[in-house]
A and B are shown apart, each in its own frame.
Chain A
Amino acid sequence: METYRYLNIFETKGLEYLLLMCFLVLFVLLIRYLEGNKHPRNDGV
């Protein structure tokens, strides 16, 4: 009977899930980075 090791990140496709989560987090950060210069800070208010 074939054994299945849940700790193996390749067999469980864990790496793909991690990469996808990285994508989602980085995508939000990228959008925030791109929009960052749109509204300059107004320290006087």
Chain B
Amino acid sequence: MSTLEAAKSGPPRRLGPELAAFGRFMLRELKPRGKLLTPFNLISLPIILAGVVILVIRFTYGLGSVTNLSQEFPWGLWIGFDVVSGVALAGGAYVITFVVYVMRLEKYHPIVRATILNGLLAYVFYAGALVFDLGRPWNIINPVIGNSFGYNSVLFLVAWHFMLYMAAEFVEFSPVVAEWLGLDRVRRWLVRLTLGAVIFGITLSTLHQSGLGALFLMAKAKIHPLWYTEFIPILFFVSSIPAGLSMIIIEGTISHRVFRDQIDPRRHGSFDQIIVGLAKGATIALFVYYFFKALIFVHEHHWWLLGDGWGALYLIEVVGLALVPCVLFAYGVRYRRVGVIRTAAVLTILGVVLNRLNISIIAFNWNSSTHYYPSWQEIVVTLMVVFAEIWVFRWVVSRMPVLRDRPVAARVEVRKRWKRTGT
């Protein structure tokens, strides 16, 4: 029985003792567990602290005090990496929830909670990093409260979709929080909402992944012709599938090593089978993505653009970091080589990040006399966002039933239902 349920069990139910029990429970959970002086902590903590100091300076003295952004280059690393790339890498959540809750492929159920958590945190931190880049961050509330709605802007769509998708992902993850708090009745209600939230979330994802690409449609004159196409929205959506699946493969591999003690030993073997299944999906998605790129390239008659450095960069991205990982994935799936699959997953992530950076930063204003290079402060804040997300992910996984089986209370409840229904 959990602490909260123990507090509730007494006959006179009063709010005061319940709140006190909840407070004690939260204080206990907030205390750090495990070793503090680990290599990861020693590297990440100073960067997070430095990032916080830089953000204080940024919000006090403005964007110009810590970034190399200008009127000509208003979007830099914070948008290009955190928002545009980060959202693509979070695409695994909508793919896996579709596979598990809609297609009913139960094989992937063991990874669904960790994937939803990863997606939720990615949106909270990476999309949340949008606030750093806004010259007047207090205006972020405008699309919500109806002050200068701007409903004909793509950013209006993206803002609403981000907000609604974060809410949908929280609903998908909320049964885990209820289990952690021992609120079985609440958990049962939240589980009933899951399928609706999943369908809503998938619909939103397909639209805002492509919506992020649609942001660049209005910058035709600024983006290098090798990267500009009217099909950017479709390419953004299609590439988010292998990016998300690759992220699950890498994140799952690391989680299985770091949180090995939390996972049922019977599941260790099945995880390799899950990786092979995910790799199969990534192969097909990358194959489709590669042919989309090839068709657009041929359609636009871009042969003459391959001769210079931009052409080399394009070939590295499309051949080296899309076609090559596709072949590696296929080989890994065929011969069950998990190491090859992991290598392909890393290459795919690099390819999608390079694609997003090319469109939003590197090949943006490519014919300008001046160029944008991120300042060291921008790099530190970007690292801070990544490390902060990992810290929160670690905190949640080590306390809530994300990787481990359901707690005893939930198992007892399920057993009671089995006896009642005979199923």
Q: Kindly count the residue-residue contacts between A and B in the assembled complex, taking CB atoms under 8 Å apart.
A: 32
Are A36 and B334 in contact (CB-based, < 8 A)?
Answer: yes
B403 at the interface (CB under 8 A from A): no
Return chain A residues, CB-CB under 8 Å to B287. Answer: 26-27, 30
Are A16 and B298 in contact (CB-based, < 8 A)?
Answer: yes
Interface of B is mostly: helix
Return chain B residues, CB-CB under 8 Å to A33. Answer: 330, 334
B97 at the interface (CB under 8 A from A): no
Q: Mark B327-342, 1 if CB is under 8 A from A, else 0.
A: 0001001111000000
Are B334 and A34 in contact (CB-based, < 8 A)?
Answer: yes
Are A19 and B291 in contact (CB-based, < 8 A)?
Answer: yes
A34-B280 CB under 8 A given contacts A19-B291, A23-B291: yes
Bound Cα distance from A10 to B300, whole angstroms: 10
Are A30 and B284 in contact (CB-based, < 8 A)?
Answer: yes
Bound Cα distance from A31 to B330, whole angstroms: 9
Which one of A13, A23, A37 lies within 8 Å of B334 (CB-CB)?
A37
Question: In the complex, what's the smallest C-beta–C-beta distance from B20 to chain A, in angstroms?
Answer: 57
Q: Residue of A at shortest CB range from B297? A: A19
Bound Cα distance from A26 to B327, whole angstroms: 12
Bound Cα distance from A10 to B280, whole angstroms: 34
B299 at the interface (CB under 8 A from A): yes
Interface of A is mostly: helix
Which of A4-45 touch B at CB < 8 Å?
A: 10, 13, 15-16, 19-20, 23, 26-27, 30-31, 33-34, 36-37
B283 at the interface (CB under 8 A from A): yes
Question: In the complex, what's the smallest C-beta–C-beta distance from B355 to chain A, in angstroms?
Answer: 20
Return chain B residues, CB-CB under 8 Å to A34. Answer: 280, 283-284, 330, 333-334
Q: Residue of A at shortest CB range from B283? A: A34
Are B295 and A16 in contact (CB-based, < 8 A)?
Answer: yes
Bound Cα distance from A24 to B298, whole angstroms: 17
Q: Mark B268-281, 1 if CB is under 8 A from A, else 0.
A: 00000000000010
Are B291 and A10 in contact (CB-based, < 8 A)?
Answer: no
Bound Cα distance from A20 to B292, whole angstroms: 10
Q: Residue of B at shortest CB range from A20? A: B295
Are B280 and A19 in contact (CB-based, < 8 A)?
Answer: no
Bound Cα distance from A30 to B333, whole angstroms: 11
Bound Cα distance from A23 to B287, whole angstroms: 9
Bound Cα distance from A45 to B298, whole angstroms: 49
Return chain A residues, CB-CB under 8 Å to B284. Answer: 30-31, 34
Beyond known contacts A10-B301, A15-B298, A19-B291: 5 more, CB 8 A cutoff: A19-B295, A20-B295, A30-B330, A34-B283, A37-B335
A-B contact pairs, 27 of them (CB 8 A): A10-B301, A13-B299, A16-B295, A16-B298, A19-B291, A19-B294, A19-B298, A20-B295, A23-B291, A23-B295, A26-B287, A27-B287, A30-B283, A30-B284, A30-B287, A30-B330, A33-B330, A33-B334, A34-B280, A34-B283, A34-B284, A34-B330, A34-B333, A34-B334, A36-B334, A37-B334, A37-B335
